[in-house]
Amino acid sequence: MIENKSSESLNVLLVVGNRSAQSTTRTVVNHLGNLMSQRDCVVNHFDYAEENLPLFDVQTAFSGEIYTSLKQRVKAADVIVLGTPDYHGSMSSALKNFLDHFWTEFAGKLFGAIVGSHEKGLTVQDQMRTVMRQCYGWSLPYGVSFQDKTDVDGEAVISDALKSKLEGMVRDLVVYGNLLAQQRQADLKGTEPGFLAHYRK
């Protein structure tokens, strides 16, 4: 019954953690975004190819037109999907820079991980989950990894196996994203103890 619930109010932010103008990470993240739009989610994007978020500097990071616009999207999001290439077993510096700019805005929200990797990207996914845990966010208990040429060719997802994994991720993001979004709002408005009590105004 919950699975058939309308996703119209579920706000999703897709993050492409790659500065390259040509990126298979972008292709996969956008493919997932199209699937989420088909589930009536409100889908927003942050893509370094379109917005150059400056390198984090505590003296200047929380200002500027790009940061102000991005902060509004992060705050509005119920679900955040992080996409990154696997660089030496770690996330890209671009994705880490995005994550460095926020903290409380992540609390109580659901995250999904997409990693372009020839080695499954497991250490990258672990690092992303560590950041989410540190910021009191929830993450799916798995991530989706893909390989260039094998799963993606340019701007197209060509692998049926990857398409199936992304469809499963969309289902889980919608179902658990709705549940967590509803509970998050209840906790923020409520009076009972819990980790979100810290974020009540």
Query: What pLDDT is stored for residue 60 in this prediction?
Result: 85
pLDDT more than 70, % of the chain? 96
**pLDDT confidence tier of residue 3, bands split at 50, 70 and 90:** very low
Structure tokens at 55: 């390198």
Query: What pLDDT is stored for residue 4 in this prediction?
Result: 41
Contact yes or no for 45/14 (Cβ under 8 A): yes
Distance, CA of 101 to CA of 20 (rounded, Å): 20
Distance, CA of 170 to CA of 174 (rounded, Å): 6
**pLDDT confidence tier of residue 21, bands split at 50, 70 and 90:** confident
Query: What pLDDT is stored for residue 63 in this prediction?
Result: 86
Query: What pLDDT is stored for residue 7 in this prediction?
Result: 54
**pLDDT confidence tier of residue 8, bands split at 50, 70 and 90:** low
Give this prediction's pTM. Answer: 0.94
* Residue 172 pLDDT exceeds 70: yes
Q: Tell me what the mean pLDDT of segment 179-196 comes to.
A: 97
Query: What pLDDT is stored for residue 54 in this prediction?
Result: 93
Positive or negative, the CA dihedral 118, 140, 29, 103 is negative
Which amino acid type is present at position 119?
A: E
The least confident of 4-18, 77-91, 141-155, 180-194 is 4-18
Q: Model confidence over 66-99: pLDDT tens digits?
A: 999 999 999 999 999 999 999 999 999 999 999 9
